[in-house]
Amino acid sequence: MKNKRLVTAIGYLDDELIAETGSEVSKKKQKSGFAKWGTLAASLCLSLGLLYFAAWFFLPTNLFGTRDEVLRMTMCRIEDCVVSYTVEDDESRFAKLMLENQMGDVVAQHGERKFYRLKGKEDLVYLITKENDQAEPELLCFSSVSHAMTDEEYRQWVLYESGYMTDEDIAILSAKTEVTYADVFALIYGVSSADEIQKIKVEKNQVESSAVAKRVEIKTLTLKNDAEVNAVYEAFSSAVLDFSYANMYHEHRVSSYDEAYLNGEAPLSAQTERKITLFLESGREVEIKYAPTGNVIWQNQNDSLATVDDTTNATLIELFGIDTEYRDWGTNPVKETKHSDHKQAGDGCETATVPSVLPVS
* Cβ atoms of 323 and 346 closer than 8 Å: yes
Q: How far is the CB of 42 from other proteins (least distance, A)?
A: 19
Q: How far is the CB of 29 from other proteins (least distance, A)?
A: 8
β-sheet bridge partners, residue 74: 85
CA 253 from centroid of its chain's CA atoms: 19
C-beta closer to other proteins: residue 28 or 339? 28
C-beta closer to other proteins: residue 10 or 50? 10
CA dihedral 107, 111, 113, 114 (to 10 degrees): 20
Main-chain phi, psi angles of 147, to 5 degrees: -95, 160
Q: How far is the CB of 34 from other proteins (least distance, A)?
A: 16
C-beta closer to other proteins: residue 25 or 71? 25
Q: How far is the CB of 46 from other proteins (least distance, A)?
A: 23
Q: Quote the CA–CA distance of 283 and 359 in Å, as a whole number.
A: 37
Question: What does the chain come to in residues?
Answer: 361
* Cβ atoms of 360 and 314 closer than 8 Å: yes
Q: How far is the CB of 32 from other proteins (least distance, A)?
A: 13
CA angle in degrees (0–180, nearest 5) for 185-188-190: 65
C-beta closer to other proteins: residue 27 or 339? 27
Q: How far is the CB of 38 from other proteins (least distance, A)?
A: 16
CA angle in degrees (0–180, nearest 5) for 310-316-320: 150
Instruction: Give me the residues that bind other proteins (CB under 8 A), please.
Output: 1-19, 21-24, 26-28, 31
C-beta closer to other proteins: residue 31 or 67? 31
C-beta closer to other proteins: residue 24 or 133? 24
> DSSP letter at 160?
I
C-beta closer to other proteins: residue 3 or 301? 3
β-sheet bridge partners, residue 78: 81
Q: How far is the CB of 47 from other proteins (least distance, A)?
A: 24
Q: Cβ-count burial of 90 within 10 angstroms (0-12 exposed, 13-18 middle, 19+ buried)? A: middle
β-sheet bridge partners, residue 202: 221, 276
